[in-house]
Structure 1
Amino acid sequence: MSHQLMSDGSLPPGSPDTGPSAVAQLHDYRRTKDVRSDLEPLRKQVSEIIAAILAGKSPDEAELREQLRRHVARHPGRPEKALLGHLISVSDRQNEAG
């Protein structure tokens, strides 16, 4: 499931609400001056992945979505770092669980 974000970082009308602050932070990199143009395609793809995850409605995954929102907040304008941090956290939790 892909959710195309609008230019302001929001989801189009009729899309599931993912929390405006998290989605808006996904596209902060477009407003920063230190963005390397070669990262733009990667960051766009990663932002779409994050938006799709945050759009989920499964109660079983609510904690994971909240964790991802925290990673996005810790890495404003760097969605690739936010997703990487999230994936590492999930992997660590799975390893600890056995």
Structure 2
Amino acid sequence: MPHLLKSNELSSSTPPPIPSADAQVLEFRRPRGKERTPSRTSPQLLEAGQDLGPLRGQVTEIIDSILAETGPDEAEVRENLRRHVANHPGRPEKALLKHLLNVSS
């Protein structure tokens, strides 16, 4: 006998399949600790951005020290960091994270 999993989440993209007469429908539940978290609202995002002040200061110092280097061996690394900083204006922490992820891979 075929089994169909039925999600307990609402989905607006596709309608649920119609089970055949001999199919058994099983309810699907997320494992504990895997519940979805609600998305942040604009005031929460604004507050989170204000909490990043000290971090942004430290990250800016790190970026400045990397860009101040003059060794020709690291010229490509500095150029990539400049590109990430340009792609994420006002968000140096994200630029540095993207740069570090790029360098590590």
Q: TM-score range by the shorter chain?
A: 0.5 to 0.7
> Displaced runs of 4+ in structure 1, greater than 3 A?
none
Q: Of the candidates 62, 69, 80, which is equivalent to residue 67 of structure 1?
A: 80
Question: Greater relative contact order: 1 or 2 (C-alpha under 8 angstroms, separation 6 or more)?
Answer: 1
Taking a change above 3 Å as real, the CA distance of residues 40 and 58 of structure 1, as seen in their structure-2 partners, is: same
TM-score of the pair, normalised by structure 1 = 0.58
Gaps of 5+ in 2: 1-45
Superposition deviation, residue 37 in structure 1:
1.8
As a proportion of its length, which structure holds more strand? 2
- Structure 2 counterpart of 1:13: none
- Structure 2 counterpart of 1:55: 68
Aligned residue-pair number: 60
Q: CA RMSD in A?
A: 1.7
Superposition deviation, residue 34 in structure 1:
8.2
Larger Rg computed on CA atoms: 2
| Counterpart-to-counterpart distance in 2, 1:54 and 1:34 | 30
SS in 1 for 2:78: helix
